[in-house]
Amino acid sequence: MPPTHQWIHTTTGRITNDPHSWMTAAHWITLQAAKGHYRPTAKGSPKWGPTTLAIAQEIAALKECRPGVDYLARKLKVSVRTVKYHLGMLRETGLLVYRSKGTRISGVGGRASEFERTIPLAFDTALGIRTVGEGATRRPVGAPAESRTLLGKLAKKATRKTRRRPRRTPVPGRGRCTPMEGGSSTGSSAAGTHSPSESKLASGSRKSSTEKSSKRGPRKLNKVGRRYQLAKQLITQVPWLKGASVPRIAWIIRHVADAGWTALEVQAAAEQVVYQGDPRRPSAVLAYRLKSCHLLYTTPGRRKVLVEDWQDSRRAEQARHQDAEYSGLGADRTPARGSVQSIVREAFRRTRQIAAGRVDDADGFEIPVETAPEPVALEALDRATVLEMRAAATRDPGFIYSALETGMSERDARRLFTNWLVDQALNTQRTLAPAF
């Protein structure tokens, strides 16, 4: 039946409300398909068979013929594509016609198609069934005597429940299971076996003499596994990559990982030249610094020279940081910038006054206050001062060093500057510390 005749207002079949009569027509089409009179037109569609009849049985059991594809696939344990194929076959044979086609409504969701169960005109013509009325609402009134035998056989099949047989691939060289005791088989599968000796049973050895030898060596990583392994090593080894996403880092280093770089070589290439305009996200910094490095250092010899130069530059940098004049910190480890020095002096002057029990008012007079615990002194700082101090600490880690060396505890420093800034400053200090 063409697609144009698969609707309730264009079909040549007749509507039936009797599930048994509808399944009788479905079994008649099964006979016609077995004789080769019907072949599905959809490309890749399976043949008409038990799955089609099983879907037809589920549809016949519905009070309202609105079978959801997901429901049928879950009920029959088949794929959604298989259900769509067989529903198309039921429409092609005239057993189902659309009353309304399913669609998706915004804000409501998907709606299943609504069908009408119909008996095709070819069934009535082949069996000589007489009908009265017109159109899809006509009804049967009788059948000739020569067709009643076939109708009886089809009706008997319609009462049975069709069961789909699961596909099982036979294993070559393996027969059926051992027959149950008392079966018709005269042979025994245990005829050629014998009991083990008592000496072997008494030895207590559980190790089988036919134990398979494992020739499988260590697992070899593929290209993707090598990228993830190198990404994990970098996140553990490089301080400023701590907490980065492993999949993101693995994608960034895909070129150098495929070229066989080690974690030390990647770190040397990423930290060889540091720019002031680096992005803030660690993964973006790594991607920015490793750009085209795999095209420049193409041999292990070049990468070895790169690592040696980077290690020499780190030792020179550590020596420079030991010099207070070059590092921009004086003998008291104060920041080099004048604006930052003024913020430090003003903030800690107010902190000491509050801790001592006196505060200067706007006219310069000392006003005694009640002595409060040290955490309250930090809360006395206004929001603008705290934000300015955090901005200064972001630009210069020496601000945090000065706060810690002037008597502020690490707990208060984390409250004032945030955990992220304190961790970054401490990690930088450990990285630059000379190794003995």
Q: Are residues 121 and 231 in the same domain?
A: no
Picking from 105, 124, 159, the residue at the C-terminal end of a domain is 159
Q: Classify residue 376: in a domain, yes or no.
A: yes
- Examine residue 69 and state whether it is found in any structural domain, yes or no: yes
* Helix (H), strand (E) counts: the chain: 21, 9
304 & 377 share domain: no
At CA 191, angle to CA 190 and CA 196, rounded to 5? 70
Do residues 118 and 16 share a domain?
Answer: yes
Rounded CA gap, 258 and 227, in Å? 7
Within-domain flag for 192: no
Q: Residue 4 has what pLDDT?
A: 86
Instruction: State the chain's mean pLDDT as an integer.
Output: 76
Q: How far apart are CA 334 and CA 341, in angstroms?
A: 7
pLDDT value of residue 177:
46
Please check whether residues 21 and 137 belong to one and the same domain.
Answer: yes
% of the chain residues with pLDDT over 70: 68
Q: Cα(423)–Cα(408) distance, rounded to whole angstroms?
A: 16
CATH of the domain at 149: 1.10.10.10
Domain ranges, residue 344: 327-432
Residues 332 and 382 in one domain: yes
Q: How confident is the model at residue 167 (pLDDT cuts 50, 70, 90)?
A: low
Asked if 434 and 322 touch (Cβ cutoff 8 Å), the reply is yes
Please state the pTM of the whole predicted model.
0.40
Q: Are residues 261 and 402 in the same domain?
A: no
**Dihedral class, residue 367 (left if φ above 0, else alpha if ψ from -120 to 50, else beta):** beta
347 pLDDT more than 80: no
Does residue 395 sit within a domain? Answer: yes
Q: Is the pLDDT of residue 368 over 80?
A: no
Question: Which H or E element spans position 141?
Answer: strand 139-142
Contact (Cβ atoms closer than 8 angstroms) between residue 367 and residue 302: no
Same domain, 231 and 139: no
On whether both 38 and 89 belong to a single domain, the answer is yes
Q: Residue 392: name the closest of 430, 436, 348, 359 by CA.
A: 348
Q: Mean pLDDT over residues 31-59, rounded?
A: 88
**168 or 277: which carries more pLDDT confidence?**
277
Domain contains 8: yes
Kindly report, residue by residue over 172-195, the tens digit of the pLDDT: 544 444 444 444 444 444 445 555
Neighbours of 353 (CB within 10 A): 17
Number of domains in the chain: 3
Co-location of 15 and 147 in the same domain: yes
As a whole number of angstroms, the distance between CA 81 and CA 97 comes to 19
Average pLDDT of 374-399? Answer: 75
- Residue that finishes a domain, picked among 260, 288, 322: 322
90 and 130, same domain (yes or no) = yes
DSSP string, 212-271: PP----SPPP-HHHHHHHHHHHHHHH-GGGTT--HHHHHHHTHHHHHTT--HHHHHHHHH
Q: How confident is the model at residue 229 (pLDDT cuts 50, 70, 90)?
A: very high
In a domain, 217, yes or no: no
Q: Which of the pair, 166 or 133, is modelled with greater confidence?
A: 133
Residue 266 shares a structural domain with residue 411: no
Please report whether residue 292 resides in a domain: yes
What is the arithmetic mean of pLDDT over 275-297? 79
For the CA atoms of 19, 22, 28, 30, the dihedral, rounded to the nearest 10 degrees, stands at -80
In a domain, 343, yes or no: yes
Residues contacting residue 72 through CB under 8 Å, at least 6 positions apart: 55, 58, 78, 83
- Same domain membership, residue 384 and residue 295: no
